[in-house]
Structure 1
Amino acid sequence: MGIFSTIAGKTIEIKQNTMNKFRLPTALILLYFLSLSSYGQVNGPNANDIIDQVRNDSHAIYQENVMDSLITWREQLMFHFDNPVLEEGTPLFFKAYTLTGPNKIRATLSKVLKVELLDEENAIIKTQYHKIVSGMAEGSIIMPKKLKDGQYTLRAYTRWMQNYGEDAFFQQRFLVSSQNIKPEEDRQTEDILISFYPEGGTLVHGLKNRLVVKATSSANRPVEIEGVIVDGSGDEVAVLTVHGKGLASTFLSPVNNEPYYLITKSGKKYLLPEIAKEGAVLNINNLDENKIKVRVSMTDDTKAKKVLIRGIKGGIVYFDKPMPIKQASGMLDISKVGLPLGAMTFLLLDEKEQVLAFRPIEITAANQLNISVDALDEDLSNSELVLKLRVTDDNGNPVRTNVSLSAVNLPTDFSDKESNSFEPLMNDNMVWGDIQRQDRFLRDLQAMTMTNSTEGLMNPELSRIDYPFQKGLNLYGYAYDLNNKLLKNSKIQMVNTSESTILARELTTDKEGRIRIENLDVTGENDIVFRTYGGDAAARLVKIVPFENSVNGMGSTKTVFDATKKNKADKKVQSPSWLPIDNTDVITLSEVEIKQNKLKRQDRTPSLYGIEPTKSVLQDFERPKTIPELFLGIAGVQVIGLGGLRPSIRLTRETGSGPILWVVNGTPLSQPATLVDIMDLIPANDVDRIEILQDSEASMYGSRAAGGVVLLYTRNASSLDNIKRKDGQLKFQGYEEVSDFKSFAQQLAKKPKKFQDKRTTLYWNPNIQTDENGEAMIRFTTPLSVKQLEIKTTAITEKGAVGSARISL
């Protein structure tokens, strides 16, 4: 017998007190924006209202109560993935869309997307952070080397989405396999698990019931199942209709106290769930893009005179609709406008709010864009392809928007049925595909098989928002000097001088020696140095020990931190998961990776691009000079206001007119920057040397260098002699760098035989921009010879209009 539980007659607490006020953290400003009711379907703010709030980067958009805020500003994710079948060492490319509110606008106040790779035991293998820009994020995650074949999951969410619980996270299951996919007929020989899911939760005596049957292999792979339903006498009463992805369904009108069985084509026999003597059946037709048709049938013994249809998701009630009942049946249409994407549950309730029946459904996005992809040259034998892409709205008007496109090689023996077998199962968000009528029907059947009880439907009543919108990456830890003394209430300077980012901040530790660094906007690995003020370089270095254990909601840590413990080189220190905000001074958030640094010895920092400067001066490390004093040692540089609060410099007339361009360790600073800005950014003790570029030497910087270029280099680690500068330095893992498909294509071209007969991505472009005619031309050369190619495209406009297309060549 498959998984089944009867819930008729079970009472659950489903009341929501929407009048409770809440207190947001002091970092957030309360502003009344729009009052909504969680009782009754809501459309939310106008699309332009949300977009304006996001463009203004306003966090003061919370409603009068928590429930309204969670409905109005709900974030959901939609993804376009290049390939659901991978192997170890290969990348999974993706484009993520963040949609906000009941109208699902592609705009969000969250700026950070967290992506995790999970194994079959749901253990986290990898964690990445991606920057959200204009409601979109893109990237790739490489399958680790020596990864075992099996099913893995990509999970993604923002910090705000944690307010809705883990069920609100996006999840996609995909296959990692070093071999070609096993044909369907081979799976029939494996042990098969059969599960039964009656629509409405129960098979009811005398009522026409729809029954969904799910078949999976021992490896949790879908298996197509054929068979018939027979009664206790062996008479056939129904035949299964096969839908694909291991799902089949049928209709039957069972009789109480009569056993029923599924007899498969192979002759195996499975007992159906027990038949309820009385109750109700909840039938849903979810095929229409804009509305849901609900039908209720009840036995004569059911006492309910008034019933209610409730739509609930993640503990939030989205609507209550009275159901008119005549002669033990009734029908009702419910609009999809304002309903969140993904799985939600419809409850049939009586006057006492007793659950008579329930039905999980899947809300999918209706195609509002038409995308056509035409191959202008589809001669795959020469590995060259030219595609013309066009996007229009429902009225045929051209749409200027961003489109993602993937092209995947399909082996000769690879069928569409096999491809569909590895599309993800239902999750709270939306995995992108062609949302046509048949696909919508199949997704709805999948939703029915995700649960057969109402347990856990209602979250505890929400009285506050624990996870605010996040604007950047954060780092939290304890600060020590190099003698392992905790630095309490101390001012600390943080300097990041990576190739891509120049960043300096002044921070202050709290009374417990804790430091918090928030809203960092850096990419890749970043060397960050921490210092206190005053004293020599050795005495000023600060060691940051990041939180490696959770801090509970009461504000007490569960672990004593050992500042003397040293990390092995290259060992990654994973900070704990995002934790709820706390209004006290206790630090409870942490969501970055810290990695030990590697050092290379070098006496002096090399000149940029090997250019010989026009003039230069070196710092004396034993008797360091101030930065204005260093300029006094350069001929032709005039220092104005030496010894004052706001000194400045002026270069000779050999340079042209215009502001000076300052370049620190190879990174140009925004103009106009001043000498005072440089003094605030870099301590004089850390200056290695200053160089002046003029005339032709400065030409590489273009028109910005008209007033001359000042190159300033800071000291490298070896110049501190015996000081263990690595103790005051961290490798901070910023946003994941944007994926480069070209390098993967080159890898394919070098090993064509390895990938030729496998489902392999041959082209990926997440940022195709259509013009004013809604058109774009795509030309690419495939790294492998191709016989069959699958092209998928996805587009979502800023106002949430969605569309996709798929063609095969």
Structure 2
Amino acid sequence: MIFQNKKFRFRVCAVTLACILISFSPTNDPLERIITGFKKYITELPQEKVYLHLDRAHYAAGETIWLKAYLTAGAYHEPSLLSNTIYVELINSTGEIIQQHQLFSPDGFAAGQLELDESLPSGNYLVRSYTNWMRNADEAYFFHKDVKIWNTQDPVNNVLSDETIALQFFPEGGNLVNGIMSKVGFKAIGTNGLGKVVSGKVYEEDKEVATFESNQFGMGVFGLVPKVGMQYTALLDNSDEIVQLPKALDSGIILSVTNSPSTADILLKVQASENSNLQTVYLLAQTRGIVCASSQADLSKRVSFTRISKKEFPSGIAQITVLDENGNPLAERLVFIDHQDQVTITTSMSKTVFAPRELVQLDIEAKDKEGNPVVANLSLTVFDGGQVSLDENKETIHSYLLLSSELKGHIESPGYYFNPNNKNREKDLDILMLTQGWRKFTITEALSEKVLDPAYSVEKGLTIRGVLTDEKKNQPIESGTVSYLSLFPFPESKTTITNSRGEFEIHDLIFFDSTKVILQGKTNNGRPATILTDKSYNSPSLLQQLSNAFTQPIALEQNFLSKAFERQAIEKAYSFENSELELEGIEIRGIRIDEPTQISSSYGAGTVQMQVSGKPALENLLHPLDLLRGRVAGVQITGYGASAKILIQGVNSIDSSMEPMLMVDDIQVRLESLVTIPVHEIEGYRVWKGADTAIFGARGTNGVIGFYTRKNLGTDKKPIQQDATLTMKGYQVEEEFYSPKYPADTSSLPKPDRRATLFWAPNIQTDSSGKTSVSFYNSDAENVIYGEIEGISKGGKPGTSRFSYIIEK
């Protein structure tokens, strides 16, 4: 048996307590103290959540993941005005962060992209997102999204896992008590972390006393009356592994909850054992920190019944806790309240069958539960159903905000519980609350009288940190000044004072992409000083591990890969840079002017030469290896910085290493030292491979990469002591999704269109009438086309919608 004892962190928010309190107030009533504790958390630790809408679920290396970020704050999920910085990371199956970006979100919304390197190996990847403020809570409450990335040049080997099953048991309320009937939830999990369909029997010593059978997600429930002195075990059918059930208490209480979707109330039953000394207990019900109901229960007759109207709760997970007179939790149960008050999004088109490359106009309308128009911020993806499947039970902004973001651990197919086509969804949702939602919570933190002191602050902008030093004495400068100046996107200047260790931080800066900023350091008597900036970032630890199991693609994924390979071939065939034209002989007359090469090397021209100076797209990159990433045929670079892996194809290693030789100005250097070379100081680079490496002897066996700095900068590599111009990585600049515009007659356009994502629109806003419209052109696909819309209203109500149409000639 795997028995989990999870610590609960109250998720509360800065809102008015709108729910009705049904409370009693005797002298020793602990409820007032508890409610005061909640109000304290509401005021001092408002909770943020971030959700990412991606254009699809799987990609090919070299493609782009398009994403829209929704950042909410508070129990009502209103667009957040707290944090302006959203972190987005791409993580591989070994837990390595291979990309990290910062999105600017002044109003709770942001759009961005993850450009996948062509050399990424096939595998499972994780997209993670959070704010700095969210780091005060558990990493489990960050946004996590699994994606598959395929490399058309990378063979996929099936990684098969064994069928070991972990069986867990969760008594309702928290504990079994001898002599009292209890509901016991169970969950069976396979080695891949997904639920396993199981059935089995429960034994009292050698006597069968119960049977159980799971739903499709490996979860279920059965009843049990434990007896004093008896041991209870479970045995799965077709298995000989015996699993112990949790040991029953001799004295205690049981909390049983009935939450029928057909009734307007929640029925609570609190039952105490015969030998219990409890005469009075207290009931507290809250949703996301909003205390919705509280009452006192009389247990003088060992049993008490209470009804709570569901109208007292907002939609989402409600936590019902039984406490003693000192406020200590005795039992707890989670239930889900669904008022179905989400935003309703409808779409309409002029027809359901379109021609290839035909213009499609989509009309969108958003309404609330009462049918009134809603101003909503939305994002839209349209994709080829012949390459990407439609998963009706996947995570959406609706399921994430109300369900997944409130529970720890992976929830399999969370959209299943909100899909009206699933007839058992409400029953299965209550089982989910009983199993994955079960835990022994503590409200110690909510009741703490200490002043809350969060370790991580709200970020209104970016931060530059570093140390101010006296270069001659090699000592930090205390009480020195560091001034910041940036001219893009608007003129901004700030000044800060260093601490006793010479350290400084300049906060709340707004700049984008690779921006040049000016830093000036001075001692307290005005003399110039040296600034050493710290560009490192302490990324949160990763708790959620990805499965290493990666199998051969199914039929639809194989079709996607085929089209991805075809798209790459089409781009190369129709790219001017990669095309070769044979021209008839021509005669050129004039004076030949030989420009002296700006890049000189003792080792010849090399196999590949690339000029960097004068090309802003290259000069503004952050690391010298970024100059080669995806730009040089046969050179594969995975990972970033000092952890990067470099492979030059077509070479043979004579030892265990496959790393090429690296040079700066013809001097061999180590990989980790490249970070000290600013890209804007590089004139160009060369790559030697194949027979061209012979000049290096054994050192060049794995290929050679040489970087050459600008000669007019001289050889002085010391930090600039006065005005230091630095290239800093700012907020990511949102790129525009390419959507072609076709004329009425497309017969003169020979380039095939095999797009997997036909259209991506991350910034759709409905007007005061709740309406808007978008238009886009079809591809050449003759398939079913699917569209998905997600978004949120100003009041924090999520909404989702799906539509489809057909492309035929």
**Which residue matches 1:394?**
369
Once the two structures are TM-superposed, the CA of residue 741 in structure 1 deviates from its matched residue by: 3.0
Equivalent positions of 1:397-416 (< 5 A) are: 397-410=372-385, 416=391
**Does the aligned pair in 2 maintain the 1:283–1:296 contact within 8 Å?**
yes
Match status 1:598 vs 2:679: yes
**Does the aligned pair in 1 maintain the 2:269–2:306 contact within 8 Å?**
yes
Corresponding letter in the other structure for 1:3: F
Change (3 A) 1:239 1:36: closer
**Which residue matches 2:307?**
332
Change (3 A) 1:412 1:496: closer
**Which residue matches 1:516?**
505
Once the two structures are TM-superposed, the CA of residue 768 in structure 1 deviates from its matched residue by: 1.4
Equivalent residue for 1:806, pick from 787, 795, 802: 802
Q: Give the match's secondary structure for 2:781.
A: coil
Corresponding letter in the other structure for 1:517: I
Measured in 1, the distance between the counterparts of 2:201 and 2:388 equals: 30
**Which residue matches 1:252?**
223
Query: Structure 1: where are the runs of 5+ without partners?
Result: 19-32, 43-62, 181-185, 551-566, 575-593, 603-715
Change (3 A) 1:506 1:300: closer
**Which residue matches 2:47?**
74
Measured in 1, the distance between the counterparts of 2:2 and 2:38 equals: 46
Q: Deviations over 1:103-138 (max 9, x none)?
A: 433242322223344455656444322111322223
Corresponding letter in the other structure for 2:101: Q
Once the two structures are TM-superposed, the CA of residue 731 in structure 1 deviates from its matched residue by: 2.3
Measured in 1, the distance between the counterparts of 2:528 and 2:274 equals: 83
Measured in 2, the distance between the counterparts of 1:719 and 1:290 equals: 79
**Which residue matches 1:463?**
451
Q: Deviations over 1:62-93 (max 9, x none)?
A: x998535136x433334434334456555443
Change (3 A) 1:130 1:732: same
Match status 1:529 vs 2:522: no
Q: Deviations over 1:415-474 (max 9, x none)?
A: 858857999893338999584676566555445444754267644664133344332111
Change (3 A) 1:293 1:147: farther
Equivalent residue for 1:495, pick from 472, 485, 506: 485
Measured in 2, the distance between the counterparts of 1:64 and 1:202 equals: 26
Q: Give the match's secondary structure for 1:283.
A: strand
Change (3 A) 1:374 1:207: farther
**Which residue matches 2:793?**
797
**Does the aligned pair in 2 maintain the 1:90–1:142 contact within 8 Å?**
yes
Match status 1:764 vs 2:742: no
**Which residue matches 2:557?**
none
Measured in 1, the distance between the counterparts of 2:340 and 2:729 equals: 38
**Does the aligned pair in 2 maintain the 1:75–1:108 contact within 8 Å?**
no
Q: Give the match's secondary structure for 1:599.
A: helix
Change (3 A) 1:786 1:769: farther
**Which residue matches 2:732?**
736
**Does the aligned pair in 2 maintain the 1:391–1:775 contact within 8 Å?**
yes
Equivalent positions of 1:19-98 (< 5 A) are: 66-70=40-44, 73-86=46-59, 89-98=62-71
**Which residue matches 1:3?**
3
**Which residue matches 1:347?**
321
Equivalent residue for 2:245, pick from 241, 265, 273: 273
Match status 1:111 vs 2:84: yes
Measured in 2, the distance between the counterparts of 1:524 and 1:290 equals: 53
Measured in 2, the distance between the counterparts of 1:416 and 1:34 equals: 35
**Does the aligned pair in 1 maintain the 2:89–2:127 contact within 8 Å?**
yes
Once the two structures are TM-superposed, the CA of residue 179 in structure 1 deviates from its matched residue by: 9.4
**Does the aligned pair in 2 maintain the 1:66–1:465 contact within 8 Å?**
no
Once the two structures are TM-superposed, the CA of residue 300 in structure 1 deviates from its matched residue by: 3.7
Corresponding letter in the other structure for 2:730: G
Once the two structures are overlaid, the 10-residue window that deviates more, 516-525 or 473-482, is 473-482
**Which residue matches 1:454?**
440
Q: Give the match's secondary structure for 2:680.
A: coil
What's the RMSD between the two structures over aligned residues?
5.3
Change (3 A) 1:414 1:805: closer
**Which residue matches 1:624?**
none
**Does the aligned pair in 1 maintain the 2:282–2:296 contact within 8 Å?**
yes
Q: Give the match's secondary structure for 2:350.
A: strand
Once the two structures are TM-superposed, the CA of residue 518 in structure 1 deviates from its matched residue by: 1.6
Measured in 1, the distance between the counterparts of 2:490 and 2:676 equals: 18
Change (3 A) 1:206 1:461: same
TM, length-normalised to structure 2: 0.60
Once the two structures are overlaid, the 10-residue window that deviates more, 796-805 or 96-105, is 96-105
Once the two structures are TM-superposed, the CA of residue 732 in structure 1 deviates from its matched residue by: 1.2
**Which residue matches 1:373?**
347
Match status 1:305 vs 2:289: no
Match status 1:192 vs 2:165: yes
Corresponding letter in the other structure for 1:129: Q
Once the two structures are TM-superposed, the CA of residue 766 in structure 1 deviates from its matched residue by: 1.7
**Which residue matches 1:101?**
74
Corresponding letter in the other structure for 1:525: S
Q: Which has the higher contact order (CA 8 A, sep 6+)?
A: 2
Change (3 A) 1:203 1:413: farther
Query: Structure 2: where are the runs of 5+ without partners?
Result: 24-36, 153-158, 539-621, 627-639, 643-674, 684-708, 743-749
Corresponding letter in the other structure for 2:760: W
**Does the aligned pair in 1 maintain the 2:383–2:785 contact within 8 Å?**
yes
Once the two structures are TM-superposed, the CA of residue 521 in structure 1 deviates from its matched residue by: 0.8
Change (3 A) 1:230 1:454: closer
Corresponding letter in the other structure for 2:365: R
Q: Deviations over 1:313-349 (max 9, x none)?
A: 999988754345565142332667677x876754322
Corresponding letter in the other structure for 2:796: G
Measured in 2, the distance between the counterparts of 1:188 and 1:493 equals: 57
**Does the aligned pair in 2 maintain the 1:595–1:731 contact within 8 Å?**
no
Q: Give the match's secondary structure for 2:738.
A: helix
**Which residue matches 2:31?**
none
Change (3 A) 1:151 1:336: farther
Once the two structures are overlaid, the 10-residue window that deviates more, 268-277 or 110-119, is 268-277
Q: Give the match's secondary structure for 2:79.
A: coil
Measured in 1, the distance between the counterparts of 2:181 and 2:90 equals: 43
**Does the aligned pair in 2 maintain the 1:365–1:435 contact within 8 Å?**
no
Corresponding letter in the other structure for 1:730: L
Equivalent residue for 1:546, pick from 514, 534, 537: 534
Corresponding letter in the other structure for 2:255: L
Once the two structures are TM-superposed, the CA of residue 522 in structure 1 deviates from its matched residue by: 0.8
Match status 1:476 vs 2:447: no
Match status 1:261 vs 2:251: no
Measured in 2, the distance between the counterparts of 1:395 and 1:38 equals: 21
**Which residue matches 2:34?**
none
TM, length-normalised to structure 1: 0.60
**Does the aligned pair in 2 maintain the 1:282–1:295 contact within 8 Å?**
yes
Once the two structures are overlaid, the 10-residue window that deviates more, 401-410 or 375-384, is 375-384
**Which residue matches 2:33?**
none
**Which residue matches 1:428?**
406
Measured in 2, the distance between the counterparts of 1:77 and 1:286 equals: 29
Q: Quick one: percent identity of the two aligned structures?
A: 20
Once the two structures are overlaid, the 10-residue window that deviates more, 503-512 or 371-380, is 503-512
Corresponding letter in the other structure for 1:67: Y
**Which residue matches 1:631?**
none
**Does the aligned pair in 1 maintain the 2:55–2:67 contact within 8 Å?**
yes
Change (3 A) 1:255 1:132: same
Measured in 1, the distance between the counterparts of 2:222 and 2:372 equals: 44
